[in-house]
């Protein structure tokens, strides 16, 4: 009986399935240039969506959220919620002056870029019409923007003002 059990155990061990091969990640884009072009398209679409935000209408926030992820999206959700609750108004449009892809490596699921953004026409006021814009705010920002691929497309995942890059007004 012990011999039969041992033989059965050996047979079971011999029948274990082979390990599944680890799939190789598929590149999100065929080239870095393609990834940079997609990132620029997303950033310009995000800027257009931000320009269309009306803090009194929460449905206008959704287009921004659809193009963002991570801490960037979290910060926008918090800021727009506050603006809505406090009756803020936004007027004017931000303009992308330049977009330069700075880094990405295969499989191109993370992309970084330097963006020069002109916010000189953008004003934010409180419910009483008082400006909430810092009087020392620069008209043009140099931003390092990070994009992450969500399996379908790139999304803006981070944006930080960068002091070591200069933007020139066009």
Judge whether 23 lies within some domain: no
Judge whether 4 lies within some domain: no
Angle at 153 between CA 162 and CA 106, to 5 degrees: 70
How much of the chain exceeds pLDDT 70, in percent?
Answer: 82
How many domains, in total, are found in the chain? 1
Judge whether 127 lies within some domain: yes
With beta carbons less than 8 A apart as the criterion, state whether 167 and 140 touch.
yes
- What pLDDT, on a 0 to 100 scale, did the predictor assign at position 98? 95
- What pLDDT, on a 0 to 100 scale, did the predictor assign at position 1? 35
With beta carbons less than 8 A apart as the criterion, state whether 111 and 153 touch.
no
Judge whether 10 lies within some domain: no
Between residues 129 and 164, which one has the greater pLDDT? Answer: 129
The two tokens of residue 29 are: 């884009």
**Model confidence pLDDT, tens digit, residues 93-144:** 999 999 999 999 889 999 999 999 999 999 999 999 999 999 999 999 999 9
- What pLDDT, on a 0 to 100 scale, did the predictor assign at position 106? 83
| pLDDT for 9 beyond 80 | no
Residue numbers of the domain that contains 155: 29-161
Judge whether 5 lies within some domain: no
CATH number of the domain at 151, please: 3.10.450.50
Judge whether 170 lies within some domain: no
How much of the chain exceeds pLDDT 90, in percent?
Answer: 72
Judge whether 130 lies within some domain: yes
Q: What are phi and psi of 70, to 5 degrees?
A: 60, -150
Judge whether 134 lies within some domain: yes
Q: How far is CA 48 from CA 1, 6, 14, 40, 140, in A?
A: 77, 71, 61, 12, 17
Q: Assign 3-state DSSP to the chain and report helix, strand, coil percentages, each to 5.
A: 35, 25, 40
Q: From CA 75, how far away is CA 50, in angstroms rounded? A: 13
With beta carbons less than 8 A apart as the criterion, state whether 86 and 112 touch.
no
Q: From CA 81, how far away is CA 87, in angstroms rounded? A: 10
Least confident segment among 8-12, 87-91, 164-168: 8-12
Q: What are phi and psi of 91, to 5 degrees?
A: -135, 155
Closest-CA residue to 144 (of 133, 155, 159): 159
pTM over 0.85? The answer is: no
Model confidence band, residue 6 (pLDDT cutoffs 50, 70, 90): very low
């Amino acid at each position: 009986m012990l011999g039969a059990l041992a033989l059965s155990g050996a047979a079971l061990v011999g029948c274990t399935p082979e390990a599944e091969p680890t799939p190789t990640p598929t590149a999100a884009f065929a080239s870095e240039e393609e990834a940079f072009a997609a990132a620029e398209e997303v950033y310009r679409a995000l800027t257009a969506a931000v320009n269309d935000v009306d803090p009194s209408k929460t449905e206008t926030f959704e287009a921004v959220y659809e193009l963002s992820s991570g801490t960037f999206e979290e910060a926008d959700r918090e800021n727009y919620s506050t603006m809505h609750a406090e009756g803020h108004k936004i007027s004017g449009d931000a303009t992308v002056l330049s977009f330069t892809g700075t880094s990405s490596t295969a499989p191109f699921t993370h992309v970084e870029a330097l963006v020069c953004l002109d916010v000189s026409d953008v004003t934010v006021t409180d419910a009483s019409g008082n400006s909430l814009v810092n009087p020392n705010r620069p008209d043009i920002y140099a931003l390092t923007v990070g994009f992450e691929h969500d399996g379908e497309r790139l999304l803006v995942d981070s944006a930080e003002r960068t002091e070591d890059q200069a933007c020139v007004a066009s």
